[in-house]
């Protein structure tokens, strides 16, 4: 099986509180981890400077599917999504899903 990653790229909005944004990101990370994913946060330093990337890693596409099903069924995550949108701290740039190729 090949590992699978999903990358959610976003840009903090001008004037947004980075501290408040990090609180929301940490809450999301806890929920992703609870449902089986490994997560990390990246700050883009070359290219699209200022963007951030929330990266979700699972051991397989199957595990990602199981994690997404559990996450989307979690009422705490549903509530988090609403709070995140209401906060207006960041703007979505793009998302990518990739699977690892053994070489």
Asked if 100 and 4 touch (Cβ cutoff 8 Å), the reply is yes
Q: How far apart are the first and last CA of the chain?
A: 13
Q: In the beta sheet, which residues pair with residue 10? A: 52, 92
Going by DSSP bridges, is the β-strand pair 90-99/52-58 parallel, antiparallel, or unpaired?
unpaired
CA distance 80 to 62: 24
How many domains, the chain?
1
What is the predicted pLDDT for the residue at 2? 87
Q: pLDDT tens digits, the chain, 103 residues: what are they? A: 789 999 999 999 999 999 999 999 999 999 999 999 999 999 999 999 999 999 999 999 999 999 999 999 999 999 999 999 999 999 999 999 999 998 8
Give the span between the Cα atoms of 30 and 66, in whole angstroms.
16
Q: Where are the beta strands (DSSP E) in 2-103?
A: 4-12, 38-43, 52-58, 90-99
User: What is 50-74 written as a DSSP string?
Assistant: T-EEEEEEESSHHHHHHHHHHHHT-
User: Domain of 65: which CATH number?
Assistant: 3.30.70.100
The parent domain of residue 35 ranges over 4-99
Q: Which pTM does this prediction carry?
A: 0.92
């Amino acid at each position: 099986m090949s590992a699978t990653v999903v990358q959610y790229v976003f840009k903090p909005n001008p004037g947004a509180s980075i501290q408040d944004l990090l609180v929301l990101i940490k809450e999301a990370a806890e929920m992703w981890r609870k449902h089986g994913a490994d997560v990390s946060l990246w700050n883009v330093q070359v290219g699209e400077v200022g963007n951030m990337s929330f990266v979700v890693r699972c051991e397989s596409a199957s595990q990602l599917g199981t994690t997404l099903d559990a996450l989307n069924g979690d009422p705490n995550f549903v509530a988090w999504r609403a709070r995140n949108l209401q906060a207006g701290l960041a703007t979505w740039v793009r998302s990518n899903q990739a699977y690892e190729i053994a070489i």
